[in-house]
């Protein structure tokens, strides 16, 4: 029976999200924060209890602060302090995750099952839960929406959605249904993973990489990533022959948990005996698996009304904990645009900007992690702060995107400008509040934020006239603030005032009198101008908002 011959859809929704891992849960949470109706389904009957992904990057923590899940994540995780690198039993490098002073957050170790719990709890506060044991078996799309076939505990169902998002992993049904290519290759090595307690005296909070080399080539490796709990680690190592599984995977994508025998404590202990920098005992194994690694990326992040994100769009080595974090940022980028499209408030081309902005990021991450996979070195000692920002994903940006303004040719390249992540600023003051606030505290509402800076009384007196010419303020899609240097007269300013008492906004944005910054809902700069140019602000908003 064909799709058209079956019964009419039994349910309708704005967005159907397939896959309830960290990426799918993020899409659903960001949509529900904006009042968008959505369903999220997952083929697994229960959430997995393994820690495939462990590292949470500072940029993800910034997005979680905006989404309201940061406190729960910090409660559940442990800080990542650095990495100890051993070669043939000798300590060759100690990498400290010393943070630049402007970074709001450091690196967090959080098992994937805890990440999913935190996100699922936040989604439940928006009266939405993942539907478990529900499989997408097919879909078709037309000019007005997507018709999806689902099969779950209650049988077959057809769902009509305005948009469909595939967050269903490396073997994605959505990607295959779209006919997207998934070009790349695979590593010959197979790894075993385990969540285990390691009895040694190494300092807590440090990842440990230990290798053995023969003729300059690594032929044995152990990587231990700290987890919550006393001396607990997610360990990975090469798989011994007796645990090897056939390759590649069932659809020629050899990535992830491919089945086979599960490693036991004895297998892990054997590697510790060979490679641990000091005598160590493995105990209290929670779970284990064998794992394969591929590197692939799709030729497009979506077609029509159907999109892919996370492992459905890109897979690569886990070096630097880039995978899940990149997928979560895919989700945030897509969700705010979908929310506008659902309300028929999106400008033409807004949804197409998802591919334009995120696919180059995916390509860069795949290439970089493949290059780094053989060394495991995360920080360049020649420029550690630059490397820290890169691994923290704070350097991800969208300069040249079709929906951001043109960079100012007169600015120093290091100055935050259109397409860059909007930096935080501390020490801001507001009337009534008897304590300083951070700029990021204003980014928790899902809207564009317009910041107009003045360090003279004359410019401050002009701010309201500029703001009154930006109509998007009237429907909640734009928040606007006057950012005033200390001592500037605010008696003529009716807009909400942020007092840059410590000068940190001026420093972070390299702002001058009249600097205008429009920040998107995902925390990236859509427009930056050196003067109070309302026309430029409206032009930037017109690339995003219809009307």
Structure confidence at residue 1 (pLDDT): 33
Structure confidence at residue 422 (pLDDT): 97
Tokens encoding 512:
């001058």
Query: What's the pTM?
Result: 0.93
Structure confidence at residue 373 (pLDDT): 62
Structure confidence at residue 157 (pLDDT): 96
CB burial of 459-494 (b: ≥16 within 10 Å; e: otherwise) equals bbbbbeebbeebebbeeebbbbbbbbbeebebeebe
Structure confidence at residue 474 (pLDDT): 53
Structure confidence at residue 319 (pLDDT): 66
Full set of structural domains in the chain with CATH:
3-75+109-182+296-391 (3.50.50.60), 184-294 (3.30.70.2450), 399-547 (3.40.30.120)
Structure confidence at residue 244 (pLDDT): 79
3-state secondary structure of 62: helix
Give residue-wise pLDDT tens across range 61-110.
999 999 999 999 999 999 999 999 999 999 999 988 889 889 999 999 99
In angstroms, rounded to a whole number, what is the distance separating the alpha carbons of residues 71 and 122? 11
In angstroms, rounded to a whole number, what is the distance separating the alpha carbons of residues 200 and 203? 9
Structure confidence at residue 382 (pLDDT): 63
Below-70 pLDDT ranges, the chain: 1-9, 246-260, 319-320, 371-382, 471-475
Structure confidence at residue 5 (pLDDT): 43
Q: Provide the CA 189 distance to its chain's centre, in angstroms.
A: 27
Q: Average pLDDT over the chain, rounded to whole?
A: 90
Structure confidence at residue 470 (pLDDT): 79
Virtual CA dihedral for 451, 402, 539, 415, nearest 10 degrees?
30
Give residue-wise pLDDT tens across range 287-313.
898 887 888 999 999 999 999 999 999
């Amino acid at each position: 029976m064909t799709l058209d011959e079956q019964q009419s859809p039994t349910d309708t929704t704005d967005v159907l999200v397939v896959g309830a891992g960290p990426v799918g849960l993020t899409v659903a949470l960001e949509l529900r924060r904006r009042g968008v109706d959505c369903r999220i389904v997952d083929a697994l009957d229960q959430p997995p209890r393994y820690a495939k992904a462990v590292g949470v990057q500072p940029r993800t923590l910034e997005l979680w602060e905006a989404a309201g899940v940061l406190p729960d994540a910090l409660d559940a995780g442990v800080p990542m302090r650095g990495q100890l690198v051993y070669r043939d039993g000798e300590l060759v490098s100690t990498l400290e995750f010393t943070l630049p002073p402007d970074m709001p957050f450091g690196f967090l170790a959080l098992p994937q099952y805890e990440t999913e719990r935190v996100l699922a709890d936040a989604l439940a506060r928006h009266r939405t839960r993942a539907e478990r044991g529900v499989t997408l078996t097919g879909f078709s799309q037309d000019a007005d929406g997507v018709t999806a076939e689902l099969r779950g505990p209650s049988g077959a169902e057809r769902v009509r959605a305005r948009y469909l998002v595939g967050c269903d992993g490396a073997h994605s049904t959505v990607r295959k249904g779209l006919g997207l290519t998934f070009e790349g290759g695979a590593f010959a090595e197979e790894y075993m993973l385990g969540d285990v307690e390691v009895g040694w005296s190494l300092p807590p909070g440090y990842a440990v990489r230990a290798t053995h080399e023969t003729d300059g080539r690594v032929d044995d490796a152990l990587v231990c990533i700290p987890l919550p709990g006393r001396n607990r680690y997610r360990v990975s190592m090469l798989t011994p022959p007796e645990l090897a599984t056939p390759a590649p995977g069932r659809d020629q994508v050899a990535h992830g948990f491919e089945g086979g025998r599960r490693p036991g404590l004895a297998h892990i202990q054997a590697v510790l005996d060979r490679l641990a920098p000091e005598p160590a005992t493995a105990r209290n194994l929670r779970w284990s698996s064998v794992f394969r690694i591929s590197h692939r990326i799709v030729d497009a992040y979506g077609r029509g009304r159907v999109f892919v994100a996370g492992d459905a769009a890109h897979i690569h080595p886990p070096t630097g904990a880039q995978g899940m974090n990149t997928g979560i940022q895919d989700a945030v980028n897509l969700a705010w645009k979908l929310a506008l499209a659902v309300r028929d408030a999106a400008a033409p081309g807004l949804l197409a900007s998802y591919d334009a902005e995120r696919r180059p990021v995916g390509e860069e991450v795949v290439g970089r992690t493949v290059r780094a996979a053989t060394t495991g070195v995360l920080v360049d000692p020649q420029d550690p702060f630059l490397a820290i920002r890169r691994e923290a994903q704070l350097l991800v940006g969208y300069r040249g995107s079709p929906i951001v303004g043109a960079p100012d040719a007169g600015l120093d390249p290091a100055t935050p400008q259109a397409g860059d992540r909007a930096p935080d600023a501390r020490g801001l003051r507001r009337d009534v509040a008897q304590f300083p606030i951070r700029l990021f505290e204003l980014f928790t509402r899902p809207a564009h934020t317009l910041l107009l800076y003045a360090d003279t009384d004359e410019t401050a007196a002009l701010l309201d006239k500029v703001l009154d010419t930006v109509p998007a303020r009237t429907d909640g899609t734009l928040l606007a603030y006057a950012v005033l240097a200390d001592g500037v007269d605010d008696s003529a300013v009716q807009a909400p005032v942020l007092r840059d008492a410590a000068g940190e906004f001026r420093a972070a944005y390299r702002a001058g009198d009249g600097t205008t910054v429009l920040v998107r809902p995902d925390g990236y700069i859509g427009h930056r101008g050196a003067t109070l140019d309302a026309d430029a602000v409206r032009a930037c908003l017109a690339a995003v908002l219809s009307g």
